[in-house]
Amino acid sequence: MDGNALAARVRAEVKEEVAQIGELGLATILVGDDPASGNYIRRKHQAALEVGISSTDIRLPAETSEAELLERVEALNEDDSIHGILVQLPLPDALDPARIVRALDPAKDVDGLQPLNAGQLYLGRPTLVPATPVGIMALLAAYDIRLSGAKAVVVGRSDIVGKPVAQLLLRQNATVTICHSRTRDLARETLDADVLVVAAGHPALVTADMVQHGATVIDVGMNRTDAGLVGDVDAAAMDIAGHMTPVPGGVGPMTIASLLRNTVEAAQMRARSFAFPCD
Ligand code: NAD
């Protein structure tokens, strides 16, 4: 499954929508100097600029206090030129991510982590959904993968990938199993999957013999190893799967494209009604 090609299509669509809307602003806050986080932020800003979204890159020192960070978030909430806000996680240990994310205006929360958005997703209501799951669902739709009645297995239960993608698969009438580090027999679960989404952060956690013949495999993992960037699924599974995303070139580019889409969505939601839509 070619994430680069689909992401290019999504970015082109977003670019057209941005041109129609006019001014659009995405702001990110990065606290500390984690190099991986800095790299993600750089790629997000570059992608935003390419589709005509202006971006505000706020970098704060690792010793920033919670009060200072909350003040920054509040200022962006109030700023009408900003349509999307993203606080790059993880935050330094002294800062409580739950409190910071809760302070975001839910209508600008392009990462879909604010509790109102997470709750709306849980309830099956329209809302801002984390970008990686949005990108995964777009890939499944683009390749006409049947989800209704399918057995979907999600490995990983993070707030940013595992849990929201499980909700979206459920919304499409899949029968969903969520596996995690305490799952007793992972292979037994994955072998049952018509659609397998793996987001665990362990290279080759899922080997070819753990994949059902013809299954659709979405490899979310991004692990830097001596052999370069690898996913959570052994590349040999490509021969067993009916469809599979490569790493790199699968979910990664779709995440960035979906963040841009979310920024447009946030702006459109604000334009439709000044309050956060509950229906
Ligand atoms: P995380 O790192 O917060 O948590 C890992 C999850 O995997 C946990 O829920 C844990 O229970 C589960 N897990 C760990 N070991 C396991 C095992 N042996 N068996 C079964 N489950 C196990 O999760 P995350 O933030 O969703 O990240 C997961 C991976 O996805 C990482 O490699 C991350 O870099 C990558 N990621 C990629 C993108 C992208 O755009 N491609 C986006 C987000 C995350």
22-65 per-position pLDDT tens digit: 999 999 999 999 999 999 999 999 999 999 999 999 999 999 99
Residue 213: give the domain boundaries: 131-252
Q: Is 262 a member of any domain? A: no
**Exposure letters 218-233 (e unless 16+ CB within 10 A, then b):** bbbbbbeeeeeebbbb
> Cα separations (Å) of 41 from 7, 216, 259?
17, 30, 12
Is 268 annotated as catalytic?
Answer: no
For residue 39, the domain's CATH number is 3.40.50.10860
Express each pLDDT in 210-234 by its tens digit: 999 999 999 999 999 999 999 999 9
Catalytic residue among 109, 111, 194, 219: 111
Q: 232 and 177, same structural domain?
A: yes
Q: Residue 276: pLDDT above 70?
A: no
155 lines ligand 1 (CB under 6 A): yes
Claim to verify: residue 140 and residue 183 sit in the same structural domain: yes
At residue 278, does pLDDT exceed 90?
A: no
Tell me the CA–centroid distance for residue 222 and ligand 1, in Å: 9
Residue identifier of the C-alpha nearest atom 31 of ligand 1: 201
User: Looking at the structure, do residues 247 and 140 belong to the same domain, yes or no?
Assistant: yes
Q: What is the pLDDT of residue 271?
A: 83
pLDDT digits (tens, 9 = 90+) for 145-185: 999 999 999 999 999 999 999 999 999 999 999 999 999 99
Residue 158 lies in a domain: yes
Nearest to 52 by CA among 265, 266, 260: 260
Provide the CATH number for the domain around residue 219: 3.40.50.720
Strand duo 228-230 + 223-225: pairing: antiparallel
Question: Where does 172-208 have alpha helices with state H?
Answer: 186-190
Asked if 93 is an active-site residue, the reply is no
Co-location of 177 and 95 in the same domain? no
Residues 222 and 232: their CA atoms lie apart, in Å, by 7
252 Cβ below 6 A of ligand 1: yes
Measured from the CB, is residue 157 less than 6 Å from ligand 1? yes
Do 135 and 95 belong together in one domain? no
Q: Number of structural domains, the chain?
A: 2
Whether 8 and 90 share a structural domain? yes
pTM of the predicted protein model: 0.97
- In the block, residue with structure tokens 């995405």: 26
Say if residue 93 is in the same domain as residue 40: yes
> Active site includes 44?
yes
156 and 242 share one domain: yes
Please indicate, yes or no, if residue 90 is contained in any of the structural domains: yes
Are 141 and 247 found together in one domain? yes
